[in-house]
Structure 1
Amino acid sequence: MKTTFPRLLLEHAQRRPGAAALREKEYGIWQTLTWSQLAELVRALAGGLAAAGLQRGQHLVVVGENRPRLYASMLAAQALGAVPVPLYQDAVAAEFVFPLTNAEVGFAVVEDQEQVDKLLEIRPQCPALTRIWFDDPRGLRKYDEPGLASLDALIEAGRAFNAQHPGHVDAEIAKAQPHDVAAMFFTSGTTGNPKGVVHTHHSLLDRAAAGQRFDKLTEREEVLAYLPPAWIGQNTFSYAQWLACGYVVNCPESASTVSIDLKEIGPTYYFAPPRVFEGLLTSVMIRMEDAGRFKRWLFKSFMSVAKRIGPSLMDGKPVPAFDRALYALGNLCIYGPLRNTLGLSRVRVAYTAGEAIGPDLFTFYRSIGINLKQLYGSTETAVFVCLQPDHEVKADTVGVPIDGVEIRVDDSGEIFVRSPGLLQSYYKNPGATAEVLDRDGWYRTGDAGFLDAGGHLKIIDRAKDVGRLANGSMFAPKYIENKLKFFPHIKEAVAFGHQRDRVCAFINIDFEAVGNWAEKRNLPYAGYTDLAGKPEVYQLVRECVEQVNADLATDERLAGCQISRFLVLHKELDADDGELTRTRKVRRGHIADKYAVLIDALYAGKSEQYIETQVKFEDGRTGMVAATLHIVDTKTFEPVRRAA
């Protein structure tokens, strides 16, 4: 797409000034911002930033939930040729230090008092940070810090600047070229410091337009923006594609109202990582446990019908008339109300990405009539590399390369990508850039996989995580973990086995789901650690693990990956404790080091192991959690030989 983000904004404002661009729920009421109102707001913010001294090529940090005025601030920075850098709003203050110092950030726009406090806390370590503007003034009335002001004040200053310098902002917009830097996204940093991924207007908008063409997206789509704007997945769907397509982006009132807002908006185009779909399914299963016997029987009966027939109907395959009628009845009684309960009744296209989704979880949604598809990409590829075409959806692939994408797989199985959406570089890190981008423009993904006979890409695991058991069998930990997480009672799992004689696993229970299960059985517990250690809970988890083992036994390549032993961790894996990234990816190496004593106990044949672990609380304090963890052996199965 030979244009820039601010030019697209002005085109929408000129062509359809009264159409809705953004909606925000405030005090329970949806407020609409039209394209013309948005363009006026962006001009005012850009004028204010220009008056404050923001220059072309400088960085503006943006921290907060999805908020219209934060989106407008990013557009305002781009209008001046500056570079917005969204950061995760749930990160602790210390996590901001590296991005701010690395990018020499002098200006920041944040959502509220929480984010202001974080930046003020680290400002002594970030001397370049001189100006901070906030959107929500609650709690900030008595703050008297140099360089701290409201977005309202910035807008007023901008209007005054624009009155004195008419045409300045439009002139700056006209200077921008498609290959100028448009944004920088910091990676989640699974190993070491995060890296700033530099993208141009062209790389982001070209991929947004390719996705638009692939799924025939129009300006009539409705999108709910509820994931962190710092994650390029959310940023692509609610920013790059929003401006490419001109559809409406809806911002929830708060994280706690997302499920209600989802039902009210009824998005037509929906995007979520697997953990969100796992959470939705868990909530469904919890509700079904609370239902009466007849309703549970009805649900189970029709879900078995859906599992057998639903995917074929979604894929446009022929289905016998009786089965089609049976599914229609199920749609009336179960599937339709269920889609409505989930807030997905109007979805035309839904995507999941960010990490692999379990095949059973994926099939569940498609079986009830939700057009859930998988896509493959990363921060470095501007998200869109492979997408699944309608009627060609497979649970074990991530789709076909879309317009402009070339894929090759080297002898080791690692995937390389060439695309117009590739990063320009890692900021101030030429060594890391050279490691992933070669002279011919191929990007090294770090993922292992292959293209099947139909041209669909199949991802096995991260290349560095795919290993071998001591007997030479393939070990794909993420594949195993995803199968475990399909069960509503399991929230997270970490599998070990590389160069070992068997596979063992750590399990995190889902506190809400297992707590509900325990209460129905009059099983008292005092908290997560107490519940996780109950013998009854261990038996519940063992049944899930053994079901996974039985399933793995039917896969000739992964039959050797069956889990021999497991333990239930005494605490939930947490990003604040360094165990997960902000996008909830497992930091495998850190976990292996932190819990080495537990891994040793699993492989030494012990039946229990005492451990003390430091944890960080939401208010920043630290404490210790200690427990004696039980270690359980599980049943494994003989590999099932498929008929030739």
Structure 2
Amino acid sequence: MSTIATRVRERARKTPGGIALREKDLGIWQQVSWLQYWDTAELVGHALIALGIEPGDRVAIHSENRREWLYTDVGTVAVRAATVGLYPTNPVAEVGYLLRHSGAKVLIAEDQEQVDKALAVDDLPELRHIVYVEPRGIRYRYDDPRLIAWPDFLALGTEHRAAHPNAVAQRMIDARPDDVVTLIYTSGTTGPPKGVMLTGANVDFAIQELVERGGFTAPPPSPRDSVLSYLPLCHVAERIFSGWFGAGAGVCVHFAESIETVATNLHEVQPTVLFGVPRIWEKIAAGVQIRIESADPVKRLVGGYWLRRADWIGGILAANGGRHTAASRAVYAIGWLFCYRALKDRVGLRKVRYAACGAAPIAPEVLRFFMGLGLPMHEVYGMTENTAVATANRPGRVKVGTVGEPHEGVEVRIDESTGEILTRHPGTFAGYWQDPEATAKVLGPDGWLHTGDVGEWVDGTHLRITDRMKDIIITAGGKNVAPSELENALKASPYIKEAVVIGDRRKFLTALIGIEPDTVGHWAQVRRLPYSTYGDLSAKPEVIGLVQGVVDEVNERFATVEQVRSFRLLPKVLDHEDGELTATQKVKRTAVATAFAGLVESMYGGYGGGAR
């Protein structure tokens, strides 16, 4: 049975000195060879066996992206256990729920913060051991018998390997296709998170399709490629690009120091393959705008001109499947000399040969923006329940506004009565952990997975997603409105970070809008508009007028019934810990509407626009 563990072991045998991982330590990039990668992962496997982990048990990881995350993931799969990833931002209540629900027996916790969260939960009868990676604040202050330092954990693995050298290898030989290798918990936008069970066969299919057959990139990824790992590894998308791209194709994985240093690390690494959720691409685009506006007058003039040319180039590429015409190629070549080369280098995109966006809808304007700068952008589609294998825009066949064509070996159809997208293939999950009822609601006996997304075919080949079924708004007049298209159009503005359209069973649509603090803050500074906090900035009449202009411009593109008639600016940044966002930064609509009910109701007291 081929698994990520067997693939890493094989790379260690064939190219022991090849570079598998790179991570910064005291400001210097440290390299990990494939031999070191497998050796440490194997030690983790032996240590887990020594701690009593049996096939089918769960091992949880609560950490930022780092080497130890992948060591644990590979080692856990090697001994036929299942990895359970926790988001670093999970608060205590969610940590308790995930550890309790999964029944994890061992927890790998990054540091004191994550250890404290686990220790704050009283009823975790299954959790026997907590391994901490960073000792600061823990080693001499805690006396919980479950605690083990990472070096001691590896030492335990070393002892076990010496006494039982073939224990891990035998577990790998005994691996079966239906072994659950990971539980990936859903974001929980409509209720408690559900544990998606992915099997060895599911992951093997995904690696074959997305990596070895080049389901995303063309040509397929190879050891010459590099990626920057910065999105949470407990999310299926990052697991693909950081874990499975490495194991399946030998891609070198660089770990970002933190989400705050992604811009700096991108510039240092200059990856060849880059995946981002819409929020990341929107933030990079906003950063480019700030760079241009902050430049001296000459550079601002030149940069502004070439950004307008990039918009034209992006339009040409979008109309031609991502392919240049003779005219657009010539204009881009000149722009490369005067602007694009330096700009892409500073942003960290100079070497990117394949860029992808997924996990949520993105405005076509953002995709065209990057295409115009010379970035080969591709919107892709998948979900945890189908191991993120569904559709992708292929190089040379890009249709902006769609999520592309079905992958090889993937069946996709649209339910005639509901418009829901259904998929079927060997990557379809085994079900939700300890929740057969929820499983039966989305997975039919015929193997078709109900995605919960509404879509339509474009030209009979490419799939377009209109919205989530649960998010469709039905106005008081009976009009069905897909809010995501309107929200994405608003968020395409560099001044808007979040937009939540409201209007279910109402006479007209309204919106709660969160400003982008960096770009709006810079806009205010240029105009010498003083402010102290986010809330203060949002309340400025000048900022309200700025956003009103964006709303008016977007409204012109939509039918009257689909226009935002009134809006209010959020007085704070939406936050995961306040229950307004999921761990993957998706907006919890109901929670936001409830938290800001006063603002919502104020918009339905009359037909006036504006905000406060």
The TM-score normalised by the length of structure 2 is: 0.95
Residue 526 of structure 1: aligned partner: 532
| 8 Å CA contact 2:412, 2:422 repeated in 1 | yes
For structure 1, the residue ranges without an aligned partner over 5 or more in a row are 554-558, 608-630, 635-644
Match of 1:305 among 300, 305, 309: 309
TM-aligned CA deviation for residue 140 of structure 1: 2.1
Residue 148 of structure 1: aligned partner: 147
TM-aligned CA deviation for residue 378 of structure 1: 0.7
TM-aligned CA deviation for residue 324 of structure 1: 3.5
1:193 & 1:310 partners in 2: Cα distance? Answer: 41
Q: Say if 1:99 and 1:316 are closer, same or farther in 2 by CA, change over 3 A.
A: closer
Stretches (4+) displaced over 6 A:
none
Decide which moves more: 195-204 or 328-337: 328-337
Residue 402 of structure 2: aligned partner: 397
Q: Say if 1:257 and 1:586 are closer, same or farther in 2 by CA, change over 3 A.
A: closer
Letter in 2 for 1:407: V
Letter in 2 for 1:264: E
Q: Say if 1:408 and 1:294 are closer, same or farther in 2 by CA, change over 3 A.
A: same
Letter in 2 for 1:190: T
Letter in 1 for 2:72: S
| 8 Å CA contact 1:579, 1:586 repeated in 2 | yes
| 8 Å CA contact 2:379, 2:393 repeated in 1 | yes
Residue 250 of structure 2: aligned partner: 246
1:97 & 1:109 partners in 2: Cα distance? Answer: 14
TM-aligned CA deviation for residue 75 of structure 1: 1.3
Q: Secondary structure at the match of 1:162?
A: helix
| 8 Å CA contact 2:286, 2:494 repeated in 1 | yes
Letter in 1 for 2:258: S
| 8 Å CA contact 1:23, 1:251 repeated in 2 | yes
Residue 6 of structure 2: aligned partner: 7
Letter in 1 for 2:564: I
Q: Secondary structure at the match of 1:166?
A: coil
The answer as to 2:500 corresponding to 1:502 is no
Q: Secondary structure at the match of 2:120?
A: helix
Letter in 2 for 1:390: P
1:144 & 1:317 partners in 2: Cα distance? Answer: 62
Matching of residues 602-617 of structure 1 within 5 Å: 602-605=603-606
Residue 331 of structure 2: aligned partner: 326
| 8 Å CA contact 1:236, 1:382 repeated in 2 | no
Matching of residues 560-599 of structure 1 within 5 Å: 560-599=561-600
| 8 Å CA contact 1:26, 1:253 repeated in 2 | no
| 8 Å CA contact 1:350, 1:370 repeated in 2 | yes
Residue 390 of structure 2: aligned partner: 385
2:611 & 2:76 partners in 1: Cα distance? Answer: 57
| 8 Å CA contact 2:229, 2:254 repeated in 1 | yes
Residue 442 of structure 1: aligned partner: 448
Letter in 2 for 1:436: V
Match of 1:270 among 268, 274, 278: 274
Q: Say if 1:319 and 1:4 are closer, same or farther in 2 by CA, change over 3 A.
A: closer
| 8 Å CA contact 1:46, 1:79 repeated in 2 | yes
Residue 202 of structure 1: aligned partner: 201
TM-aligned CA deviation for residue 114 of structure 1: 1.3
Q: Say if 1:313 and 1:529 are closer, same or farther in 2 by CA, change over 3 A.
A: closer
Residue 457 of structure 1: aligned partner: 463
Matching of residues 19-34 of structure 1 within 5 Å: 19-34=18-33
1:415-449 Cα offsets, whole Å, 9 max, x none, are 11112111101000000000000000000000001
| 8 Å CA contact 1:489, 1:513 repeated in 2 | yes
TM-aligned CA deviation for residue 300 of structure 1: 2.2
Residue 620 of structure 1: aligned partner: none
The answer as to 2:162 corresponding to 1:183 is no
| 8 Å CA contact 2:132, 2:148 repeated in 1 | yes
Match of 2:545 among 535, 539, 549: 539
Letter in 2 for 1:446: G
Residue 479 of structure 1: aligned partner: 485
Match of 2:265 among 242, 251, 261: 261
2:536 & 2:282 partners in 1: Cα distance? Answer: 24
Matching of residues 151-162 of structure 1 within 5 Å: 151-162=150-161
Over aligned residue pairs, what C-alpha RMSD do you find? 1.7
1:237 & 1:25 partners in 2: Cα distance? Answer: 19
1:471 & 1:192 partners in 2: Cα distance? Answer: 29
1:249 & 1:178 partners in 2: Cα distance? Answer: 27
Q: Secondary structure at the match of 2:557?
A: helix
1:165-190 Cα offsets, whole Å, 9 max, x none, are 12111111111122211111011100
Residue 18 of structure 1: aligned partner: 17
Residue 621 of structure 1: aligned partner: none
1:282 & 1:303 partners in 2: Cα distance? Answer: 13
Q: Secondary structure at the match of 2:556?
A: helix
Decide which moves more: 77-86 or 287-296: 287-296
TM-aligned CA deviation for residue 469 of structure 1: 2.9
1:313-366 Cα offsets, whole Å, 9 max, x none, are 584646244x54332111111111111111011111111111001111111001
1:467 & 1:255 partners in 2: Cα distance? Answer: 34
1:2-60 Cα offsets, whole Å, 9 max, x none, are 51121111111111111111111111111111111112112211111111111111100
TM-aligned CA deviation for residue 403 of structure 1: 1.2
2:2 & 2:574 partners in 1: Cα distance? Answer: 43
Q: Secondary structure at the match of 1:460?
A: strand
Query: Percent identity over the alignment?
Result: 38
1:286 & 1:302 partners in 2: Cα distance? Answer: 15
Letter in 1 for 2:432: Y
| 8 Å CA contact 1:134, 1:150 repeated in 2 | yes
1:316 & 1:145 partners in 2: Cα distance? Answer: 57
1:361 & 1:131 partners in 2: Cα distance? Answer: 46
| 8 Å CA contact 2:292, 2:304 repeated in 1 | no
Pairs aligned (count): 603
Q: Say if 1:316 and 1:235 are closer, same or farther in 2 by CA, change over 3 A.
A: closer
1:191-211 Cα offsets, whole Å, 9 max, x none, are 111000000111122112211
| 8 Å CA contact 1:365, 1:372 repeated in 2 | yes
Decide which moves more: 505-514 or 597-606: 597-606
Residue 632 of structure 1: aligned partner: 610
Q: Secondary structure at the match of 1:408?
A: strand
TM-aligned CA deviation for residue 292 of structure 1: 2.7
Letter in 1 for 2:520: V
2:556 & 2:487 partners in 1: Cα distance? Answer: 15
Letter in 2 for 1:585: K
Match of 2:370 among 365, 374, 397: 365
1:79 & 1:118 partners in 2: Cα distance? Answer: 28
Match of 1:406 among 398, 405, 411: 411
Letter in 2 for 1:237: F
Q: Say if 1:328 and 1:416 are closer, same or farther in 2 by CA, change over 3 A.
A: same
| 8 Å CA contact 1:375, 1:384 repeated in 2 | no
Decide which moves more: 312-321 or 400-409: 312-321
| 8 Å CA contact 1:185, 1:196 repeated in 2 | yes
2:557 & 2:346 partners in 1: Cα distance? Answer: 30
1:596 & 1:266 partners in 2: Cα distance? Answer: 44
TM-aligned CA deviation for residue 472 of structure 1: 3.9
| 8 Å CA contact 2:566, 2:607 repeated in 1 | no
1:584 & 1:182 partners in 2: Cα distance? Answer: 25
Letter in 2 for 1:132: I
Letter in 1 for 2:393: Q
The TM-score normalised by the length of structure 1 is: 0.91
Q: Say if 1:316 and 1:401 are closer, same or farther in 2 by CA, change over 3 A.
A: closer
1:202-257 Cα offsets, whole Å, 9 max, x none, are 11221122112222222321011111111111111111232111211111233333
Letter in 2 for 1:278: E
Matching of residues 226-237 of structure 1 within 5 Å: 226-237=230-241
2:34 & 2:412 partners in 1: Cα distance? Answer: 38
| 8 Å CA contact 1:205, 1:240 repeated in 2 | no
Residue 125 of structure 1: aligned partner: 123
2:96 & 2:576 partners in 1: Cα distance? Answer: 17
TM-aligned CA deviation for residue 573 of structure 1: 1.4
Decide which moves more: 291-300 or 111-120: 291-300
Matching of residues 16-55 of structure 1 within 5 Å: 16-55=15-54
1:412 & 1:225 partners in 2: Cα distance? Answer: 37
